[in-house]
Amino acid sequence: MVYKTLLDETAMNRALTRIAHEIIEANKGAKDIILVGIETRGVPLAYRLAEKIKQIEEVEVPVEKINIAFYRDDLEKKYVQPVAGDNNVHDINDKTVILVDDVIYTGRTVRAAMDAVMDLGRPSYIKLATLIDRGHRELPIRPDFIGKNIPTSKKEIVHVRLQEIDGENHVLLETK
């Protein structure tokens, strides 16, 4: 296997700063925004975006996390036992929910996250921020905020490594 660095720590930080500015611009500020990180790596990315928004706008943006395991359409393939009742997202009614994930691929994770959010309330809007868009959508889902578009083949794998989980910050492309 061959690994190629797509984003180093500096480039990752730059992409997140750009996403934070785009979120603020698209929402005319940071009022009524809730960042919802999709477990696992979407959660620390949501916290990083909240910190960047705070530095820019001097507004604390709430960060929540959501576990979408129970909502997956491939549940029988990926999980032995579904995780139910694990979502603690509060007060999303009439808010702009920005789902945050590390990589968007087929769109199925995002669809599951939208289902989970809708079970918790009725937001005004649901938007999507992702660090990496690698294409190959199977569902008509498009991110609103993208750190970097990376054209890939279906045989390649994108690995987002985060300090909070992996002890390092970079994005790698694995080819076989």
Task: Report pLDDT digits (tens) over 98-130.
Answer: 999 999 999 999 999 999 999 999 999 999 999
DSSP class per residue in 110-128: HHHHHHHHHHH---SEEEE
Report pLDDT digits (tens) over 42-96: 999 999 999 999 999 999 999 999 999 889 877 555 544 444 445 555 689 999 9
pLDDT higher than 50, residue 30: yes
Of the candidates 3, 25, 22, the residue with the CA atom closest to the CA atom of residue 131: 22
pLDDT higher than 50, residue 31: yes
The span from the CA of 120 to the CA of 172, in Å, is 34
The span from the CA of 78 to the CA of 59, in Å, is 38
**What pLDDT score does 171 carry?**
98
Cα end-to-end span (Å), the chain? 5
Residues near 142 by Cβ (< 8 Å), separated by ≥ 6?
A: 128
**What pLDDT score does 25 carry?**
98
Of the candidates 68, 112, 71, the residue with the CA atom closest to the CA atom of residue 87: 68
Report pLDDT digits (tens) over 123-148: 999 999 999 999 999 999 999 999 99
Q: What is the mean pLDDT of residues 156-161?
A: 98
The span from the CA of 162 to the CA of 153, in Å, is 23
Q: Give CA torsion, residues 71, 72, 74, 76, to 10 deg.
A: -50
**What pLDDT score does 82 carry?**
40
**What pLDDT score does 80 carry?**
43
Retrieve residue 122's tokens.
Answer: 């009725």
Q: What is the pTM of this model?
A: 0.92
